[in-house]
Structure 1
């Protein structure tokens, strides 16, 4: 449900808050406190403050750990089970208060906000019934190869905690002191998960222990936890033996706590099973239904997701086969031929800084060319520009392949989409246009910037995101780019676009295969290798991700399918009255909403046009 892009938050929202210094309630549209709209706005402000900003780490991520909140910069989040339970009490109360608001008395825009918050709340609260996992994000495992303080805090301290002064450096050390207790808090929750029957599969335990071992087995002085403060205090010429102090804290508190956590996993390893899916957990089938409901914002079953995936993989594979044959590639399966394209030197930029600059220039050219086409398809176009940037060399080795950062709400910073150029062989040229259209325009930047720039939207709704809506739009944008003529003279780029959709369709099959069809990990890996032609090592990482986040991988293509379905139904129902620009503006003006709410919004729009 919550878009993984910053888990409901954006740096832009934080920059705006920090810059304004105003009470959050002032960011909401004005309404009399006594009427239904005023009550809803007040509730959304309260949720934003109580549930989202009750987190020192979030305040830092938002750039809001200054002024009256400066003391929070020395703390980490409370990860105890008691805090989890207290948050549940707060959120249940918020949903009770929401139910007391008269929806029928709300204007249309406020009704959309109400329905969005109610769907979110009802779904989150339904997850409270399971005695494992916890928090707002459906994963049965508090700690895994993808989650846990051991994984997130080193990166958080390095990339989010700013160091400009000696006080900032002291705050860093205070947070480092808190890291060990945070690990111990999570270790207690891991024990509770295990006692409730949520022990990860053996291969997840092995991967998790491998990653923990990379920390506990390294020289402490070489760890990011130590090197980050050494490097950054030196850059700012802040006097003091910061690295030695950090290393002492790591040795005395962090590493012992991480070893204690690893010991819990090691004790569970001999009896852990190899079964990959959530079905093997207590009420596991219901948990997968919860994950699908949360991430896809639909009531689709695992069987329905599986059938959708198989049908779409077949359809997309047939289309790709035709295009490949037209380019003279006739031998082998579609997956094998696409794999051959990935290795074809015609499509590989030299792995030099000069060639990488050329690649970035090409991507920015694609954005400019696409922006010229936008007025034919959109009435509202973002004011904020978007730029392509290279992931900084200092972090590219461990950074993801690409990601998007939102623009500042006050217009002081454009949107950026970062591409990791550690090795240009990872980005054959035929993959790049689709990546640009997905991440930048008309994809994530276009959608998210418009959501942020909507002056009538309360702050909570500017940053609340739903994976099916946002990632579904990203895939829809890929299709729209093709329909807009972006690949008229680029047959290889069109194959890359189809390969992107095939990858997301295969996710439907494997996610539901693991959790609803009781596939093994190996069966999921083999399906993706055979279907897509990807390397087994890369596919393994993908499949293991699906194992610990049931339902998340299905959100992309389910969302894309719904956007297309709503458009084509509107085209059919409205006939000559259908306006593609009005359809896009209506869907995007809603902001990040569940698909059920998007369907209602489009239905209301059709009724006004017909």
Structure 2
């Protein structure tokens, strides 16, 4: 084994030496391939989800020592990237260059905060207990080898839980723990993993593949029993270790949780919150600026909502008018099936036929509506395949049809389906981009800002902007429907005020809830959980509205500067075909697009320039050698 690994190391290094004399394009291609391989080796659980099966037998490491290793390798990749001459790349390669540079620098900028949330790896929204089905949901179970890999992961799981306890202890010593509300659901989540005290290895979700999948492969009865036996032993150990985690959190961690809801009172808490905001927004906005933006948006939207109230001759507040509407039984569906059917009709018969008015070169990938299996948000989206064989899915919460007003459904359909998440991710599938973009890493949010970004403000900002496009498509036909649209936007505007209020202005949870109650139509019980989310993920809730405002700002600028030459279909399609990018890069791309369109106006008929054919660019040998060597070390470290 050792001899094979040595040859593997030198083989990979030789491959990169061979390409060291290539041009900038080739050097970038090699670098981003190595980067993606490295990230998948550090995130093996996520690599399985992205159909990168090389590391299916191992789990993510939660060791503190891994922080510095990741930092050092990130610095090497950044050095290698900056050794490539950007000007010699094609336009799409330049975008890849810029995104990778942003990812690397974002992680390094956040590294100083590694002893804050990063060492608190379980909460009501994060951790292996949050959704145990993810452990096997994307795992392939097609061969005996797949089951061997799965059992190996089960056997390594208790050790990962031990590493989690160690990190929590470190958080206690550093005095950077969560507030207690961040653990409100964790104990119940642990208890639900295996609720039956006897034969829990069979009843436990981790055993599901041995019930549903193992009989579909060619395997001897002896091998089958051997795999099942080892799996049961491993699962028993997992359940036992989970109880250790629960006991530790109750007896050791909870008594040491921070007393304030926000992070303001942590050491350098203001600066830490600023770093979290920058990670999510990819803009240099201060908490004060975000707070003021929120206040202005709340005032603007409230004014629009009051116009509807007054137009309908109602003598009361927006909240009172909404309650008046809710007393009308026709505002609700009686069954989940009727609600699902209405969502499907909205998407396929009302929205989709109008999309050519706002977009060009539509991907036209299929989407279906399915019912969420458990209660939660109003809806979620999961992406399908590029060939259309697996459709995108809008998971709709239809469990309580009598509590979900019809007027709130259309903006949610626009947000989750088209022109929101489904359309955005459909365009993204056809962009000629390397794996690190098309299979972008989804960092766990408890690690922010010590994580590689996934550009939440870009994706959620677009989806919120998509809700506003319902106006231009004339989809909001009635005042109640318009009120439903504004209520969705108001909720995101209030988040700007409340998130900064908690973490920068030291608001209490009750102050945050009261603010929401004054301006939104949310029930107190729902707001309790909502605020716990903001307490746990500082800055995340600001992504939606800031992203939407940036897109609207860029659209307004393009409209003004291009005048009669502005075409909304060109603008939207340009954004979609640019892929998922940080907001600062989106702004630069749109500015360059505007300049290019203006230049085309003054020089009609001039062909669009293609990629330049410059003299070969040689990436410094020592840069490629270091990147290659460290890539190999990451492979060696797995053995």
- Band of TM-score, shorter chain: 0.7 to 0.9
Pick from 164, 179, 182: which aligns with 2:157?
179
Q: Distance between the aligned counterparts of 1:277 and 1:526, measured in 2? A: 16
Aligned to 1:469: 458
Aligned to 1:338: 322
Pick from 178, 195, 198: which aligns with 2:173?
195
2:449 aligned with 1:460, yes or no?
Answer: no
Pick from 591, 599, 606: which aligns with 1:603?
591
Conservation of the 8 A alpha-carbon contact between 2:141 and 2:213 = no
Q: Which runs of 5+ in 2 are unaligned?
A: 1-18, 441-453, 599-639
RCO greater where, 1 or 2, for CA within 8 Å and sep 6 or more? 2
Aligned to 1:543: 531
Q: Say which is worse superposed, 465-474 or 45-54, in terms of deviation.
A: 45-54
Q: Distance between the aligned counterparts of 1:594 and 1:177, measured in 2? A: 39
Conservation of the 8 A alpha-carbon contact between 1:139 and 1:549 = no
> Judging changes above 3 Å, is the alpha-carbon distance between structure 1 residues 318 and 140 closer, same or farther for their aligned structure 2 residues?
farther
Q: CA deviation at 1:590?
A: 1.6
The normalised TM-score by structure 2 is 0.81
Aligned to 2:470: 481
Conservation of the 8 A alpha-carbon contact between 2:383 and 2:391 = yes
- 1:121-177 deviation per Cα after TM superposition (whole angstroms, max 9, x unaligned): 2111111112414xxxx756322222222334x221353335456665554444333
Q: Say which is worse superposed, 436-445 or 207-216, in terms of deviation.
A: 207-216
Q: Distance between the aligned counterparts of 2:597 and 2:208, measured in 1? A: 62
2:128 aligned with 1:144, yes or no?
Answer: no
The normalised TM-score by structure 1 is 0.84
Aligned to 1:347: 331
Aligned to 2:95: 112
Aligned to 1:88: 71
Aligned to 1:314: 299
Q: Distance between the aligned counterparts of 1:362 and 1:383, measured in 2? A: 16
User: Where do residues 361-400 of structure 1 align in structure 2 (5 Å cutoff)?
Assistant: 361-363=344-346, 366-391=347-372, 396-397=373-374, 400=377
Q: Distance between the aligned counterparts of 2:320 and 2:529, measured in 1? A: 20
Pick from 272, 285, 289: which aligns with 1:300?
285
Q: CA deviation at 1:556?
A: 0.6
Q: CA deviation at 1:415?
A: 2.0
Q: Which runs of 5+ in 1 are unaligned?
A: 1-30
User: Where do residues 478-557 of structure 1 align in structure 2 (5 Å cutoff)?
Assistant: 478-487=467-476, 489-557=477-545
Local SS of the residue matching 1:387: strand
Local SS of the residue matching 1:422: coil
Q: Distance between the aligned counterparts of 1:400 and 1:167, measured in 2? A: 37
Q: CA deviation at 1:341?
A: 3.9
Conservation of the 8 A alpha-carbon contact between 2:336 and 2:398 = no
Q: CA deviation at 1:339?
A: 4.8
Local SS of the residue matching 1:449: helix
Q: Distance between the aligned counterparts of 1:77 and 1:315, measured in 2? A: 46
Local SS of the residue matching 1:75: coil
Task: Compute the RMSD of aligned alpha carbons.
Answer: 2.8
> Judging changes above 3 Å, is the alpha-carbon distance between structure 1 residues 479 and 206 closer, same or farther for their aligned structure 2 residues?
closer
> Judging changes above 3 Å, is the alpha-carbon distance between structure 1 residues 442 and 227 closer, same or farther for their aligned structure 2 residues?
closer
2:299 aligned with 1:323, yes or no?
Answer: no
- 1:84-103 deviation per Cα after TM superposition (whole angstroms, max 9, x unaligned): 43223222211121222222
Q: CA deviation at 1:343?
A: 5.8
Q: Distance between the aligned counterparts of 2:39 and 2:136, measured in 1? A: 25
Local SS of the residue matching 1:416: strand
Conservation of the 8 A alpha-carbon contact between 2:498 and 2:512 = yes
User: Where do residues 215-364 of structure 1 align in structure 2 (5 Å cutoff)?
Assistant: 215=193, 219=197, 221=199, 226-227=204-205, 229-230=207-208, 233=211, 237=215, 248-260=233-245, 262-327=247-312, 329-331=314-316, 333-339=317-323, 341-342=325-326, 344-351=328-335, 353=337, 355-363=338-346
Q: Distance between the aligned counterparts of 2:363 and 2:212, measured in 1? A: 40
Conservation of the 8 A alpha-carbon contact between 1:74 and 1:171 = yes
Conservation of the 8 A alpha-carbon contact between 1:276 and 1:521 = yes
Q: Distance between the aligned counterparts of 2:184 and 2:567, measured in 1? A: 54
> Judging changes above 3 Å, is the alpha-carbon distance between structure 1 residues 538 and 34 closer, same or farther for their aligned structure 2 residues?
same
The higher radius of gyration belongs to 2
Q: CA deviation at 1:561?
A: 0.2
Conservation of the 8 A alpha-carbon contact between 1:220 and 1:226 = no
> Judging changes above 3 Å, is the alpha-carbon distance between structure 1 residues 225 and 552 closer, same or farther for their aligned structure 2 residues?
farther
What number of residue pairs does the alignment pair up?
560
- 1:399-432 deviation per Cα after TM superposition (whole angstroms, max 9, x unaligned): 6542212231334323222213222235321111
